[in-house]
Amino acid sequence: MLLAWWEPFSQSNETMTLQTRIEEKLTAAFAPERLSVINESHLHAGHQPDMTGTGETHMRVRIVSAKFAGMPRLARHRAITELLKPELDAGLHALAVEPAAPGEAVRW
């Protein structure tokens, strides 16, 4: 089967992984210098009866963006969780957020 040049880039939201959707939203909103979205679902197997450790239920976001400069830590968290509210409403169980501005110390 021959694909048109645009087909690999025309993935719909329904077929995209949650991790990819989060990465795309954060990139569009914050133009990060560094971004890592980590699926930690496997670390939470058995924490609740329906938590099997499979899927995309627990995510960690590590992001460095100039847009966070001068912004209090709580405001950074709120900006990210507001942006990702549709994912949280759709079943993302936990979101760990580690935001920083360029030049700030990070533990990762």
Evaluate whether 89 touches 66 at the Cβ level (below 8 Å): no
Count how many domains the chain has: 1
Strand 94-100 and strand 58-64: the pairing is: parallel
With a cut of 80, say whether residue 100 has pLDDT above it.
yes
Task: Give this prediction's pTM.
Answer: 0.77
Q: Which pLDDT does position 88 carry in this prediction?
A: 93
Range of the domain at 28: 18-100
Q: Which pLDDT does position 91 carry in this prediction?
A: 84
Mean pLDDT of 102-106: 96
With a cut of 50, say whether residue 5 has pLDDT above it.
no
- The CATH number covering residue 92 comes to 3.30.300.90
Residue 107, in any domain of the structure: no
Residue 22, in any domain of the structure: yes
Residue 6 token pair: 């645009």
Bridge-partner residues for 62, per DSSP? 36, 98
pLDDT category of residue 36 using cuts at 50, 70 and 90:
very high
Mean pLDDT of 49-60: 67
